[in-house]
Amino acid sequence: MEFCGMRFNTPLVLLSGCVGFGEEYTRVSGFSNRDAGAVCLKGATLAPRLGNAPHRVWETPMGMLNAIGLQNPGTEYVIKNILPALDFSETRFIANLSGSTVEEYAEITRLFDDSPIDAMEINISCPNVKEGGVAFGNDPDMSARVVAACRAQTKKPLITKLSPNQTDIVENARRCIEAGTDGFAVINTLMGMAVDIEQRTPVLGNGQGGLSGPAIRPIALLKVHQVYQVAKQHNIPIIGQGGIMTAQDALEFIIAGASAVGIGTALFYDPLVCPKINAGIVDYLQRHRLNHVSQLVGTLKIMHDEPDCFG
């Protein structure tokens, strides 16, 4: 399949922060990057970051909270030491860009433009850092400024990662399209927290973090459907993500408007989940006499208006 001009082996994308810099799961027997159409690398900032204080990860009944804080060795190190070790014949690799200022995003983009990376994901919606991230992702004007600054530095595909923690995700998407994004990743994690009732303190060292996993799937599915309404007018593809654990989950996102689907927290439950999801998608296409997954994108049928609350 094709996504933003890139050829994907499958409609699955391994999400940023869940597979390190593309090599983390290769140590698992039976795991192969070939099962994914693309791998989003861990977020890179201009300078190295140590990340947040522990705890950084906390399991929830239907997923997990994380507050890693974008720990990474810096963009130049990633380009010089990590990218050369990746096998670009296996899959496509997407850099994840994170910054504290518009200028920092632009500079990171410039550096990755002069590298073998296939595309770049602009992370304007990270809920577990104390600067940048959330402020950019929740303000359509700031989101558009970041995308425009990155667009000016590269002709490689730009995928904007949208925040669910905002008032109007559709307006934000529209502004990002005007600024030059080539695709969207919908959604990033939701803000959440956990409390140690004995100490009466937040469990996460950052106080709050990003909630991922099955608990957010219905929200993510709705956001994909909403963003698709504006994205389809400009042929902008979407990576739908948020709690996808099975082939049925993936198919729901594709029917709602996603051209590809992101696998993240599911990898912590089952590192070999990707071939299972791929097999389920193939089985569905065969049963419904469809030749390609693209024939399924955005085929959701809205029969009639339903009330959005009880009473």
Distance (Å, whole) CA 85 – CA 222 = 38
pLDDT in 10s for each residue of the chain, 311 residues:
999 999 999 999 999 999 999 877 777 888 888 899 999 999 999 999 999 999 999 999 999 999 999 999 999 999 999 999 999 999 999 999 999 889 999 999 999 999 999 999 999 865 445 555 556 778 899 999 999 999 999 999 999 999 998 889 999 999 999 999 999 999 999 999 999 999 999 999 999 999 999 999 999 999 999 999 999 999 999 999 999 999 999 999 999 999 999 999 999 999 999 999 999 999 999 999 999 999 999 999 988 665 566 55
Cβ atoms of residues 42 and 21 within 8 Å: yes
- pLDDT for 27 equals 78
Residue in 267, 285, 307 with CA at minimum distance from that of residue 26: 267
pTM, whole model, 2 decimals? 0.94
Please, what are the domains in the chain?
2-296 (3.20.20.70)
Q: Which residues are catalytic?
A: 126
Residue 140 half-sphere exposure toward CB, CA atoms < 13 A = 12
Residue 193 in tokens: 């927290």
Calculate the dihedral angle through the C-alpha atoms of 274, 280, 284, 290, rounding to the nearest 10 degrees.
Answer: 40
pLDDT at 50: 95
Q: How buried is residue 7: exposed, middle or buried, by Cβ count under 10 Å (0-12/13-18/19+)?
A: exposed
| Contact by Cβ (8 Å): 179, 147 | yes
Centroid of chain to Cα 232? 19
* Crossing angle (nearest 10°) for helices 169-179 and 217-231: 50
